[in-house]
Amino acid sequence: MLSSTATYLITGASRGLGLEFVRQLLDGGATVIATCRSPSKASQLTELRRSGPGIKNLSIVQLDVTNDDSIATAVKSVSASQSRGIDVLIHNAGVNLLEDDGKLLKSSRESLLASLNTNTVSPVIVTQKFLPLLEKTPSPGNKLIMMMSSNLGFLSESFGVVQSYGVSKAALNKVVVEMALELQPKGIPIVSIHPGWVATDMGSLYGKPPLQPKESIAGILKVISKPSSKLSGNFFAYDGAQLPW
């Protein structure tokens, strides 16, 4: 069971679902390292640092998940400030590029590579670099890596839109299956989560989403509250339903 005082590191916390993770985790008493690529532009996040509840438990760290120098500097900074390590790593940062009209037959190399770079490759590299901090925490049963995936990555179903994004999330799910095996001896579960269709900048690109960030993130925090080998290597929705690949 994740303790309410665990230390969480979140990528892409400037807005949307990442920002809502920060809000709800601070409300619950956790220590939060909120990372974002441009802290000076992340006004909602920096406002939380000024006035929100639990501000003493919040640190903001610059992290562009596609930039190796930025990752190295962030690891250094978090290592210096969190001497006991981190318990939970939430890979939330993601992009959904609309440049290819949602069609693979129209997708450019640049668009395909950009989706894969942010949504698939970066979570792998960021995990590699932060792993020593997860291994360091003296709390067996209290560690977790979470990948923010999407039902648009289903192999068994096509929604006919945003294929380069869907391809990158399907590949991310494969990362979860493979990494679960590699992480098993270290006692660190990894899980893939679909947050639902949520009203954020990204979610609102295609119409009016039925879910608000508050409900999605409250559901996800419940799903991941008991990290276990049963959770590891699997794909769940924010409401706890286990999803097919």
List the catalytic residues: 165, 169
According to DSSP, residue 82 is labeled -
Among 189, 203, 219, 227, binds ligand NDP (CB under 6 A): 203
Nearest by Cα to 59 from 129, 128, 10: 10
Q: From the CB of residue 198, how many other CB atoms can be counted at a distance below 10 Å?
A: 21
Q: Find the part of the chain contacting ligand NDP (CB under 6 A) among 21-29, 34-42, 102-110, 123-131.
A: 34-42
User: Least distance from C-beta 164 to ligand NDP, angstroms?
Assistant: 12
| 39 sits near ligand NDP (criterion: CB under 6 A) | no
According to DSSP, residue 240 is labeled S
Whichever of 43 and 228 has its CB closer to ligand NDP, that residue is 43
Among 9, 60, 74, 198, binds ligand NDP (CB under 6 A): 198
| 23 sits near ligand NDP (criterion: CB under 6 A) | no
Among 10, 17, 32, 237, binds ligand NDP (CB under 6 A): 17
Whichever of 16 and 233 has its CB closer to ligand NDP, that residue is 16
| 12 sits near ligand NDP (criterion: CB under 6 A) | yes
User: Least distance from C-beta 140 to ligand NDP, angstroms?
Assistant: 28
| 200 sits near ligand NDP (criterion: CB under 6 A) | yes
Answer for the pair 11, 91: CB distance below 8 angstroms, yes or no: yes
User: Least distance from C-beta 9 to ligand NDP, angstroms?
Assistant: 12
According to DSSP, residue 62 is labeled E
Q: How far is CA 65 from CA 68, 97, 123, 228, in A?
A: 8, 16, 7, 27
* SS3 category, 147: strand
Element (H, E) at 122: helix 122-136
**Hey, which residues between 112 and 171 contact ligand NDP (CB under 6 A)?**
118, 148, 150
**Region label for 196, one of left (φ > 0), alpha (ψ between -120 and 50) or beta (otherwise):** left
According to DSSP, residue 105 is labeled G
- CA dihedral sign of residues 59, 201, 217, 124: negative
Residues that bind ligand NDP (CB under 6 A): 11-12, 14-18, 36-38, 63-66, 92-95, 118, 148, 150, 194-195, 197-198, 200-203, 209
